[in-house]
Amino acid sequence: MRKILIFLLPVFQLVTCTQPSKSVKTEEKLVNVPSFNSDSAYSFTQKQVEFGPRVPNTKAHDKCAVYLSSELKRFGAEVIEQKANLTAFDGTVLKSVNIIGSFNPKAEARVLLFSHWDSRPWADNDPKPENRKKPVMAANDGASGVGVLLEMARLLGKNSSEIGVDIIFFDSEDYGKPESAGGEQSEDSWCLGTQYWAKNPHIPDYTARFGILLDMVGAPEATFCREQASEYYAGNIVSKVWSQAKSLGFGQYFRDEKGGTITDDHIYVNKIIGIPSIDIIHYDPNSRSGFGTYWHTTHDTMENVDKNTLNAVGTTLMHVVYNEK
């Protein structure tokens, strides 16, 4: 992701997290929510990184696509590989594939969960000029969100939810135009796979109650603010997720504070296909970019992924999904 308009957030102190319960009482009945396994999510994240940078048109990218698709199939999802040749800002044709896994596919009521799985081709934010043409390993910026969703897919395959759930891994998200390329910047040079899917959904007239994007959800002691485009398009969904996180003891991750406005995959899901969608994205007040000092550098590696953060995000979303009627 490319982002950022300004985050308006004070620096805050983190507090100790309490352990979440495994069930939540609704007005009607006690809902049993499968326990999210952060070790498993971490392993799914690490496996992607082991392929190397997943830059479109590379062998690592091709191998990771096979892995992601086969894992969703192994967990019982109906899988569609949406392949497309997408043109980057510089004219490069990117052989892209959006990987879509559907659970409880016959259910009319659906929820959409998504993340990008590709890596940025250039570490253009790296402090060392000699590294800025190297690809990004994308452990947090990409792999962490996919890792959480793969663990959710594993659990959904064993424990059906009342509603249908569609998990999409979007491709060619991070091939946006770098500032060093000069000329006018274009937000639409990012999120190419998402834009393509939103204009060409895998099912005609596809819709969902809401969508949730996971972007950079693995950093140690990460903080997630109420991103303002999410508030504009789907403020009720932001409140739903943040309230659920707080009730589970994850309030120090999901801060009930105003964030900035970010150009990310959820923008196109909102604007093009009209599914109200939000972005769960890490904000780091101590970095110049707001996304962590390792963002779009050669240092976005596994030391920037923490099991406690994966657990906070994954457990929260499991409760959101399984309490949806």
Structure tokens at 161: 């939810």
Residue 20's pLDDT band (boundaries 50, 70, 90)? very low
Whether residue 226 is predicted with pLDDT greater than 60 in this model: the reply is: yes
Phi then psi for residue 214, to 5 deg, are: -110, 120
- Please report the pLDDT score of residue 142 as a whole number: 96
Q: Which of 191, 64, 183 is nearest to 120 (CA)?
A: 191
| E strands in the chain | 23-25, 30-32, 78-87, 93-103, 110-116, 164-170, 210-215, 224-226, 254-258, 277-281
| E strands in 152-253 | 164-170, 210-215, 224-226
Contact 115, 213 (CB under 8 A): yes
- Please report the pLDDT score of residue 2 as a whole number: 57
For the chain, what percent of residues have pLDDT higher than 70? Answer: 91
Residue 290's pLDDT band (boundaries 50, 70, 90)? confident
Least confident of 8-12, 56-60, 261-265: 8-12
Fold of 24-176+185-322: Aminopeptidase (3.40.630)
Helix and strand numbers (H, E) in the chain are 7, 10
- Please report the pLDDT score of residue 3 as a whole number: 52
Contact 223, 255 (CB under 8 A): yes
Contact 193, 200 (CB under 8 A): no
Whether residue 284 is predicted with pLDDT greater than 90 in this model: the reply is: no
If you average pLDDT over every residue of the chain, what do you get? Answer: 91
Structure tokens at 212: 């949730």
Residue 14's pLDDT band (boundaries 50, 70, 90)? very low
Provide the whole-model pTM: 0.92
Phi then psi for residue 51, to 5 deg, are: -70, -20
